[in-house]
Amino acid sequence: AQKITQTQPGMFVQEKEAVTLDCTYDTSDPSYGLFWYKQPSSGEMIFLIYQGSYDQQNATEGRYSLNFQKARKSANLVISASQLGDSAMYFCAMRERLTGGGNKLTFGTGTQLKVEL
Amino acid sequence: DAGVTQSPTHLIKTRGQQVTLRCSPISGHKSVSWYQQVLGQGPQFIFQYYEKEERGRGNFPDRFSARQFPNYSSELNVNALLLGDSALYLCASSLVGPPSNQPQHFGDGTRLSIL
């Protein structure tokens, strides 16, 4: 079974600074995808960035970038120039293929990020 | 374009009752998945449907069931509710069917409280 580990329950960062949220994963499937989602206190899950296991370059989306180190099985999220609105829970997730032909996301336990003035 | 819509937003039930949660995917999305998120944890996979067929089921009891309609909307049913079923229920849709690395886009969820 696949596993996602997020070892930082909470992180603080000052506004305009960069922050790295850690994620390590474990899978025996050579084909997988890694996702990061943001969940504000209101509850909705917002897709941020995706990295495929065969992608050669690290994914970037605006202020978000994914530091993908395949050999170390890590997929850390880097947020540059933090803003107060970035305060939220962040989840790392991995796509897992199912025997019925479907796929599911396996989530980590999340990291609560707080951006301070 | 409208995102994934879920109804109701909040729901309060008592133990033993039954509940139906509804989800409309993003227009053009044919795959719908359901997740349960207990307070303080990451979401846990319940079901995935694609083209009206169940394509995956998580480790949940038979009290949980779902279906997908011809318009790709979906319902999640939970029978004989237990206190432990109190959670945020999230629906997600994606553009293409499994297997796929397309992102799943989530709705705002239904917050279910069991008294």
pLDDT at B1: 64
Residue B83, both tokens? 């206190």
d(CA B78, CA B19): 5
Chain A residues in contact with B113 by the CB 8 A cut-off are: none
The count of CB pairs under 8 A between chains A and B is: 80
Contact (CB<8Å) A104/B48: yes
d(CA B29, CA B74): 12
> A28 vs A1, A31, A95, A96, B28, CA distance in Å?
8, 9, 12, 10, 32
Q: Are A42 and A59 in contact (CB under 8 A)?
A: no
What is the tens place of the pLDDT at every residue in A25-56? 999 888 889 999 999 998 889 999 999 998 88
Which residues of B fall below an 8 Å CB-CB distance to A? 33, 35, 41-45, 48, 50, 54-58, 88, 90, 92, 98-101, 103-109, 111
How many helices and strands in chain B, by DSSP H and E?
0, 11
Query: Is residue B79 exposed (0-12), middle (13-18) or buried (19+ Cβ within 10 Å)?
Result: middle
Chain A residues in contact with B43 by the CB 8 A cut-off are: 45, 91, 105, 107
Mean residue pLDDT across chain B: 93
| Closest Cβ–Cβ partner in B45, B55, B109 for A105 | B45
What would the DSSP string read from start to end of B31-70? EEEEEEE-TTS--EEEEEEETTEEEEE-S--TTEEEEE-T
**Could you tell me which residues come within 8 angstroms of residue A104 by beta carbon, excluding any fewer than 6 positions away?**
A95, A96, A98, B33, B45, B48, B56, B58
| Mean pLDDT of the B42-60 span | 93
What is the tens place of the pLDDT at every residue in B58-95? 999 999 999 999 999 999 999 999 999 999 999 999 87
| Closest Cβ–Cβ partner in B43, B54, B105 for A100 | B54
Q: Are B46 and B66 in contact (CB under 8 A)?
A: yes
